[in-house]
Structure 1
Amino acid sequence: MWRDTGAPADSFYEVRPECADVPKTKFKIKAGKTLSARKWQAAFTPEGYLDIGKTLSRIYRGGIHPSIRGEVWEFLLGCYDPKSTFDERERIRQRRRAQYAWWKEECRQMFPVIGSGRFITAPVVTEEGEPIQDPLVRLEANPNMGQTTVPQENGTSNNLETAKDGQDKDKKVIQWKLTLHQIGLDVNRTDRTLVFYEKQENLSKLWDILAVYAWVDKDVGYCQGMSDLCSPMIILLEDEADAFWCFERLMRRLRVNFRCTERSVGVEAQLSNLASITQVIDPKLHQHLETLGGGDYLFAFRMLMVLFRREFSFGDSLYLWEMMWALEYDPDLFSMYEEADSAGEKSEGSKKAKSIRQCGKFERENMKNGAKNAESPLPISIFLVASVLKDRSSKLQTEARGLDDVVKILNDITGNLDAKKACTGAMKLHKKYLKKAKK
């Protein structure tokens, strides 16, 4: 039995012994502060209604105990409504599992390696959709047979060399198949310091979820960085479908960052907002960065794309994420996601009814200052980056003589940041920015 007091989170996310240079997790499980399994269970009524307000403040004070992290995240990300019962949630869970199984089977029909317990890292089709006749592709797709046929559940086989399913002529199918090897390459690189990913079945689960997501979200498909966002879900939620839906909800917040056009990448809008914030709260630093040619703030690209996964240890990045989501929590999240078509109408009604106590602190500030009326309220992640820059402002101004120096100074923060302090700093800057922006 894990003790609640002072236990390091590393004991839950075991690092391979040969990876000695991996930053240690600073997050400690603290009795009375960390949301424990006992406190979590006590937050529900006998019917299953959740007191979300109390839960949010406890998460911000001390994070979530790793043993219950997955199920708490499902609420924080809007998978479930706190005002629902146990029975209602179970029905939703079963419906979603069936939906995921249907999508996965659809993908398996197009490419039978999906769901086989394996994954591929070599391209399988050309830009025109023609199968690539490469020994590595054949071996990865079917390592045991030494030939190009892949058995399917119904006893038939799909010949990778000659199969020219009519769907292959569909641009969407071709586009999807073109991403599969890139997903495999990224899966091979994601969190490989963790013992968890020594198991092939866990790697293939990550590949399957990302492949299915790329098929379902045809606007975004798959982009590098998504594997970093999905990986924790696989570790925290045992059922693959539950992990998929948790990742899908997270992507609803972040997919705008991954959307690309011929002219721009979605995250550029957030980088532009970061520049505006820095200009308001630290004009000298902004001016210095502009002089160095860094006015586009591209050096902060990675922090925003994968939410600080590279700057923190694995355990601390999870702690940071749950604090961010608790601070940003909006009780209308579930209804906005579930009823996207009538979201405007629904959320207008519920805005009057929702208690400010059920909102996260960051969300409350936005409500108080009218920032929610803006077309798109700024996420807390931008203020987190701004807070990191502010903390290193004097160092950046005195030591950075070029963009390489800026990148080096920011790279030095890896493993040295404190997640709680970063969130506190972000909240202070947010308050300051809203006041100055109002003026």
Structure 2
Amino acid sequence: MWRDPGQPADSYYQVRPECTDVPKSKFKIKAGKTLSSRKWQAAFTPEGYLDISKTLGRIYRGGIHPSIRGEVWEFLLSCYDPKSTFDERDQIRQRRRVQYARWKEECRQIFPVVGSGKFITAPVITEDGQPIQEPLVILETNQDGGPSQDGNSAEIGNSDASATNQSRTNTSYSEMVKQLTSHGPLDKKVTQWMLTLHQIGLDVHRTDRTLVFYEKQENLSKLWDILAVYAWIDTDVGYCQGMSDLCSPMIVLLEDEADAFWCFERLMRRLRGNFRCTERSVGVETQLSNLAEITQVIDPKLHQHLDALGGGDYLFAFRMLMVLFRREFSFCDSLYLWEMMWALEYDPDLFSVYEEPELNGEKGEGSKGRAKSIRQYGKFERENMKNGAANSEGPLPMSVFLVASVLKDKSSKLLHEARGLDDVVKILNDMTGNLDAKKACSGAMKLHKKYLKKAKKA
């Protein structure tokens, strides 16, 4: 029987020609399997209600066509309720765009580089809130030219015009410094936020730089602006390294900056616990201990071996959980992995949970039936419901089972070749670009089912 070999999806995310060592995508667009634009449009009623159950199955079987990925992700990440109309979603979209513009303007008033099409990679204030007259910042905040492609500011020559530009730059930066200190010492929130701005810039400069997309200064600054605004509104978490890896695909997929911001904000609702740090622990440690528990149940021999090597805390898996396998897969394959995972984990109640503070009381009782068919939940979520999987923290996320699946797949190699933690890290690093997203997902589902059964018996 003839089978469609599939069309490579790499062409949608063009790689810079000089980057020759970038892993090739294994994801192929397959007719009849991949969610196409035609199938996606057909899933809506004339009013705009979406049949999410059919859509979830198709995404898991073959991913999403890159041309519609952004708009489908908005549903998978619970930006919108499938049981809403086109008009209702337009209203929500406009309201959110206005809200983002307000927050961005708040940030711009404090630090005018926000929204200027530029970004900074050097500190602007000291720990105690004193402005730093840093030459690199002076160059980067030049209103006549921002950072160049290599991350440094545009070169200034010896001509009179250059001297004039330098003078303007110094004036511009001096005015910014004056504004910062004109009302006395900076408050704690402003200080904390401004201390993160250069770190965001450094990370933005390193994020997905193999993509032609990020050769454009405007795309880099868009990523910086979104992360800066997020750090401003989420005072609990602020900004942490790794968030740029999670936000970058949103910029690539969604043209409107505000829409990309809200997609990222919804993703952070799921993952912010990973980034929350206290004096004693990092948030992701909870998931690492869950991973240890799962491996102990599923593959006790492997757990025992890792523990004997001093890896019982599973810190070697830290990066995989923090940035959801962004480093282990090609750019295209990591997107494919994410959408399969979100389709499997899909919970139709999350939209209401996220929107509740804003929408309480706005809709009359009974305006929408809240009773949902189990088909509207993702397969992973259905397994949790069927088996009553819940602890004090709620069901374990699928990402933990994905890591467990990868470890299980490499179990033999780890048992026979790892003689120390360095070997464990090397074996896992050697997987980069060689993993199969679909296989990892199906492996995670099998482990999840097995784990729930064993946990129920225990």
TM-score using structure 1 length:
0.94
Assess if the C-alpha contact under 8 Å between 2:274 and 2:282 holds in 1.
yes
1:148 is matched with which residue: 148, 153, 170? 170
Q: Deviations over 1:324-360 (max 9, x none)?
A: 00000001010011015999xx9xx999822110010
1:204 is matched with which residue: 221, 224, 227? 221
AA partner of residue 109 (structure 2): Q
Task: Report 1:104-115 matches (<5 A).
Answer: 104-115=104-115
Task: Report 1:349-364 matches (<5 A).
Answer: 353-364=371-382
1:154 match: none
1:64 match: 64
Assess if the C-alpha contact under 8 Å between 2:246 and 2:264 holds in 1.
yes
AA partner of residue 92 (structure 1): I
User: Could you tell me how far 1:159 is from its partner in structure 2?
Assistant: 3.2
1:382 is matched with which residue: 392, 396, 400? 400
1:417 match: 435
Identity of aligned residues (%): 83
User: Could you tell me how far 1:375 is from its partner in structure 2?
Assistant: 3.5
2:359 and 2:289 map into 1 onto residues whose CA distance is 30
2:107 and 2:404 map into 1 onto residues whose CA distance is 41
2:43 match: 43
Q: Deviations over 1:32-90 (max 9, x none)?
A: 00000000000000000000000000000000000000000000000000000000000
2:234 match: 217
1:228 and 1:161 map into 2 onto residues whose CA distance is 34
1:50 and 1:351 map into 2 onto residues whose CA distance is 15
AA partner of residue 203 (structure 1): L
AA partner of residue 428 (structure 2): L
2:11 match: 11
1:284 and 1:367 map into 2 onto residues whose CA distance is 30
User: Could you tell me how far 1:143 is from its partner in structure 2?
Assistant: 5.4
1:257 is matched with which residue: 256, 260, 274? 274
1:95 and 1:167 map into 2 onto residues whose CA distance is 35
User: Could you tell me how far 1:135 is from its partner in structure 2?
Assistant: 1.1
2:31 and 2:5 map into 1 onto residues whose CA distance is 5
2:430 and 2:300 map into 1 onto residues whose CA distance is 23
AA partner of residue 67 (structure 2): S
User: Could you tell me how far 1:8 is from its partner in structure 2?
Assistant: 1.2
Alpha carbons of structure 1 residues 285 and 84: separation in structure 2 relative to 1, 3 Å: same
1:248 match: 265
1:399 match: 417
Assess if the C-alpha contact under 8 Å between 2:347 and 2:381 holds in 1.
yes
Alpha carbons of structure 1 residues 273 and 117: separation in structure 2 relative to 1, 3 Å: same
User: Could you tell me how far 1:373 is from its partner in structure 2?
Assistant: 6.5
User: Could you tell me how far 1:161 is from its partner in structure 2?
Assistant: 5.8
Partner-residue secondary structure (3-state), 1:20: coil
Q: Which moved more, 1:30-39 or 1:131-140?
A: 131-140
Task: Report 1:338-377 matches (<5 A).
Answer: 338-339=355-356, 353-372=371-390, 375-377=393-395
Task: Report 1:15-414 matches (<5 A).
Answer: 15-142=15-142, 144=144, 145-146=165-166, 147-150=169-172, 158-160=175-177, 163-166=180-183, 169-339=186-356, 353-372=371-390, 375-414=393-432
Partner-residue secondary structure (3-state), 1:169: coil
Assess if the C-alpha contact under 8 Å between 2:180 and 2:186 holds in 1.
no
2:30 and 2:290 map into 1 onto residues whose CA distance is 36
1:119 and 1:341 map into 2 onto residues whose CA distance is 32
1:168 and 1:176 map into 2 onto residues whose CA distance is 14
Partner-residue secondary structure (3-state), 2:133: coil
Structure 1: runs of 5+ lacking an equivalent = 152-156
Alpha carbons of structure 1 residues 342 and 13: separation in structure 2 relative to 1, 3 Å: closer
1:158 and 1:179 map into 2 onto residues whose CA distance is 21
Assess if the C-alpha contact under 8 Å between 2:111 and 2:176 holds in 1.
no
Alpha carbons of structure 1 residues 341 and 266: separation in structure 2 relative to 1, 3 Å: farther
Assess if the C-alpha contact under 8 Å between 2:47 and 2:86 holds in 1.
yes
User: Could you tell me how far 1:6 is from its partner in structure 2?
Assistant: 2.1
2:444 match: 426
Q: Which moved more, 1:168-177 or 1:269-278?
A: 168-177
2:100 and 2:337 map into 1 onto residues whose CA distance is 28
Q: Deviations over 1:247-298 (max 9, x none)?
A: 0000000000000000000000000000000000000000000100000000
2:359 and 2:313 map into 1 onto residues whose CA distance is 36
Assess if the C-alpha contact under 8 Å between 2:120 and 2:198 holds in 1.
yes
Assess if the C-alpha contact under 8 Å between 2:34 and 2:61 holds in 1.
yes
AA partner of residue 248 (structure 1): E
Alpha carbons of structure 1 residues 5 and 180: separation in structure 2 relative to 1, 3 Å: same
User: Could you tell me how far 1:189 is from its partner in structure 2?
Assistant: 0.1
2:338 and 2:142 map into 1 onto residues whose CA distance is 38
AA partner of residue 414 (structure 1): T
Q: CA RMSD in A?
A: 2.0
1:50 and 1:373 map into 2 onto residues whose CA distance is 32
AA partner of residue 346 (structure 2): Y
User: Could you tell me how far 1:163 is from its partner in structure 2?
Assistant: 4.0
Partner-residue secondary structure (3-state), 2:447: helix
Alpha carbons of structure 1 residues 373 and 277: separation in structure 2 relative to 1, 3 Å: closer
User: Could you tell me how far 1:9 is from its partner in structure 2?
Assistant: 1.1
User: Could you tell me how far 1:7 is from its partner in structure 2?
Assistant: 1.9
2:184 and 2:447 map into 1 onto residues whose CA distance is 51
